[in-house]
Amino acid sequence: MSLQTRVLGSIALLLVLALLGGSAALVLNARAAAQTEVHTAFHGAAESVRDTMKGNVAHTVTLREVVASFEGQRHVRAALVNEDGRVIVQSQIAQLDNPAPGWFAWLIEPAPLSITIPINLPQFPCVLQLLTDPRSEMAQSWGHVVTAFLTMLAFCAGAMAVVSLAFRHALRHLKDLQAGMLDVSRGHYQTRLEARGAPEFAELADGFNHMAGRLEQFSDSNRRLEQQINQVQEEERAGIARDLHDEVGPYLFALQVDASALVKSTEPETRGRGQAIRDAVMHIQQQVKDILRQLRPASELEFGLEAAIADQILFWSRRYPAIRFERSVGSDLALDRRGEDTALRIVQEGLSNAVRHGNPGLIRVVIAGQPDGVRVSVEDDGGGLKQSAAGLSQMGLPGLEERVRALDGRFIVEDLPGKGVRLVALLPDRRVREVA
Ligand SMILES: Nc1ncnc2c1ncn2[C@@H]1O[C@H](COP(=O)(O)OP(=O)(O)OP(=O)(O)O)[C@@H](O)[C@H]1O
Ligand SMILES: [Mg+2]
């Protein structure tokens, strides 16, 4: 149940309870007031009739006048009854425009009172009866209660409307905050909230902005750090490659020359050994060349990304002839030199992981342009991600993620259990990145 529903529901419940309590109090008041009003009127009337009767009531005309004086009264009725119990004449209370409903009358009706006054007229023995009639009083109370109830109802409805408006207003700020949090969790650290509304919300927005600002700073400095690390790594690899090339290369060449000289010997055994040494040296030379390519793939980019990827595939296909390699590299990709370098590293690590950790029959490399950048994917059918074996450095995938993040791209490792692994990188359009 949402917070809004809970709070508004609780307030509505309280208001309904208050309404019920108020209505009960109104009914109790009305009941007490009706009783007082009707009984007071009755006692007053009885007193006055008794006073009249003390005088000389010599004929029925006077008695009829007494009864008629009660005509249209609100609380008391009078009747003249003869000795046979027949009503000779009786008064009626005033006409009721809006009588109280039965249930309300039942709730507040006062106890009935009556009095019988014997009249000593020798030729017309009779009695004068007075009795309470609360209908008029109850109709009046009903009117008051309805008015008071409607007033309370209007107040409750107004209070509910004001509270729900205030709540909706407050929730709007919370929704802004929620959207901002979501944005930040997606890495959009430039998101800021407008500090408006109640001071509490303005403070919340200030706090959020401060947090997003700090995250933006951290993210910038992280990115710079990653770039520096990548650069240092590049330089280190380049240094190792240079050393390998400069230190080992000449000696291998010298060995090859010496072995060639031995091959020309007249001694058959020396000739045979010379040939074996020359074959071994040529093999080492080929290995060193491959290692140099691995260490300095960027240099291969001088012939373009497609050529560099073809080289990588050749490197592995020579060693794993049973694996089928497929490649598709789109033309005119929106990548700058760093983007191409990153794409090549992804392919390099993807190929190496697939042959080392999976048991694939097919490895597919696809680099394709997209409206907002370039999608690089390396996919194998080697059975899915394996548990990492102890002793492996496991720096490959995290390193790729850092590289891609340094370019503001996205990197995903998709595990397709039973099928294989797919590395996907979305590298932003170089024009977007250059503007940023
Ligand atoms: N194509 C794949 N098929 C099966 N498992 C894989 C594949 N790629 C990665 N893995 C699993 O994920 C782990 C992490 O890969 P990662 O490239 O980060 O490290 P590594 O290859 O073990 O070491 P490094 O790349 O640092 O030499 C691997 O050890 C392996 O268990
Ligand atoms: Mg690896």
Domain ranges of the chain: 3-163, 187-228, 305-385+394-436
366 Cα: distance to centroid of ligand 1 (angstroms):
20
What rounded mean pLDDT belongs to the chain?
Answer: 87
| For range 308-330, the mean pLDDT | 92
pLDDT tens, residue by residue, 292-305: 877 765 566 778 89
- The yes/no answer on whether domain 305-385+394-436 falls in CATH 3.30.565.10 is yes
Percent pLDDT > 70 in the chain is 94
115 Cα: distance to centroid of ligand 2 (angstroms):
112
Residue 50 has a pLDDT of 84
Cα separation of 421 and 419, whole Å? Answer: 7
Residue nearest to atom 6 of ligand 1 (CA): 385
Percent pLDDT > 90 in the chain is 47
pLDDT at 227 over 60: yes
Residue 433 has a pLDDT of 43
Count other Cβ atoms within 10 Å, centred on residue 387: 6
Residue 153 has a pLDDT of 93
Residue nearest to atom 19 of ligand 1 (CA): 394
Cα separation of 310 and 363, whole Å? Answer: 13
Q: Which of 394, 422, 423 to mutate to test the pocket of ligand 1 (most atoms within 8 A of CB)?
A: 394
SS3 370: strand
| Topology given in CATH for the domain delimited by 3-163 | Beta-Lactamase (3.30.450)
Residue predicted with more confidence, 226 or 297: 226
Residue nearest to atom 31 of ligand 1 (CA): 388
233 Cα: distance to centroid of ligand 2 (angstroms):
16
Residue predicted with more confidence, 297 or 259: 259
Residue among 240, 229, 238 nearest 402 (CA): 229
Any bridge partners for residue 62, and if so which? none
Which amino acid would we find at residue 292?
Answer: L
pLDDT band at 118 (very low <50, low <70, confident <90, very high): confident
Which amino acid would we find at residue 432?
Answer: V
| For range 304-320, the mean pLDDT | 90
pLDDT at 126 over 50: yes
Taking a 5 Å cut-off on Cβ, the residues next to ion ligand 2 are 353, 396
DSSP characters over 327-365: EEE-SS-S--HHHHHHHHHHHHHHHHHHHHHS--SEEEE
Q: Is the pTM of this model over 0.85?
A: no
Residue 366 has a pLDDT of 97
pLDDT at 246 over 80: no
CB–CB of 35/111 below 8 Å? yes
What are the residues whose beta carbons fall under 8 Å from the beta carbon of 93, sequence distance 6 or more? Answer: 72, 73, 74, 75, 77, 133, 135, 136
- Give CA separation, 415 vs 394, 412, 422, in Å: 16, 10, 7
Least confident of 31-35, 75-79, 130-134, 257-261: 257-261
CB–CB of 41/135 below 8 Å? no
| For range 3-17, the mean pLDDT | 89
281 Cα: distance to centroid of ligand 1 (angstroms):
32
- Give CA separation, 90 vs 9, 78, 123, 163, 258, in Å: 57, 6, 20, 58, 152
CB–CB of 100/141 below 8 Å? yes
**250's tokens:** 């000449």
Any bridge partners for residue 428, and if so which? 373
| For range 115-143, the mean pLDDT | 88
Contacts of 355-361 with CB under 8 Å at 24 or more apart are: 355/316, 355/319, 355/320, 355/323, 357/382, 357/385, 357/386, 358/382, 358/383, 358/384, 358/386, 358/420, 358/421, 359/383, 360/323, 360/420, 361/322, 361/323, 361/324
Residue with tokens 């390699």: 325
Measured at the CA of 291, the angle between CA 289 and CA 294, to 5 degrees, comes to 115
